[in-house]
């Protein structure tokens, strides 16, 4: 596998989409998703300049953590509250904050170990599954809670549009604008993966979570 070549192709896809939508390719963060990938592949990405890596399971981060001490680990999968302590200790960021219960648990753990933790609120605008985020009318209360905590920092919104639904990407963009209007500030959006990144870029995403386009199929 030629990761450098894969990255060049990925940059080309992003640049083409940015050209069509009048965006700056440098404004879009690529977050490598390393679920089931070995440490050697992650080290190759580190050599290419990546410092942050996303994982779906806290248990997998726990295994890789001592082997890759300089990595900023980002939890992107559904996080159970009973894993809050482990996630707070190991992770730099939680992308999948999906309930007030989890927010309170992360707040408690971050205060206990005196560690700042960035959290993104995962939203399910289409009520697909409790595993895919909180409901849209829960976002503001969770956001308000996070802003009052001493160690949690609100990072943005993570959204998983239904596969094959192109309108869902513009719906996500519009929801982000609603939240920005209420907050009166810029709100970052993490949306888009290997198979749909063009739609995500053209709909204003700030972060792409990329696995197979960089590291091949699982």
pLDDT at 42: 96
CATH of residue 85's domain is 3.20.20.10
Mean pLDDT by 10 residues, the chain (218 residues): 93 97 97 95 96 97 97 97 98 98 98 98 90 92 97 98 91 96 95 96 97 88
pLDDT of residue 218: 67
Range of the domain at 111: 3-215
CA–CA separation, 159 and 132 (whole Å): 8
Number of domains the chain is built from: 1
Integer CA distances (angstroms), 195 to 54, 117, 199, in order? 17, 29, 9
Predicted pLDDT at 163: 84
**Is the sign of the CA dihedral 142, 79, 153, 27 positive or negative?**
negative
């Amino acid at each position: 596998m030629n990761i450098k070549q894969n990255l060049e192709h990925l940059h080309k896809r992003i640049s083409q989409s940015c050209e069509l939508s009048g965006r700056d390719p440098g404004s879009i963060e690529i977050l490598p998703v390393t679920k089931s990938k070995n440490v050697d592949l992650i080290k190759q990405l580190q050599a290419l300049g990546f410092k942050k890596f996303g994982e779906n399971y806290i248990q997998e981060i726990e295994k890789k953590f001592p082997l890759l001490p300089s990595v900023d680990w980002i939890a992107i999968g559904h996080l159970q509250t009973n894993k809050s302590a482990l996630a707070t200790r190991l992770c730099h960021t939680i992308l999948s904050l999906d309930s007030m219960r989890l927010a309170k648990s992360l707040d408690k753990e971050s205060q206990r170990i005196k560690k700042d933790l960035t959290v993104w609120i995962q939203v399910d605008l289409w009520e697909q599954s409790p595993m895919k985020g909180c409901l849209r009318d829960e976002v503001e209360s969770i956001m308000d809670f996070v802003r009052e905590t001493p160690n949690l920092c609100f990072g943005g919104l993570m959204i998983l549009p239904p596969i094959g639904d192109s309108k869902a990407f513009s719906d996500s963009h519009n929801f982000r604008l609603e939240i920005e209007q209420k907050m009166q500030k810029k709100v970052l959006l993490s949306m888009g993966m290997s198979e749909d990144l063009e739609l995500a870029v053209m709909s204003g995403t700030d972060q792409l979570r990329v696995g197979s386009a960089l590291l091949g199929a699982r």
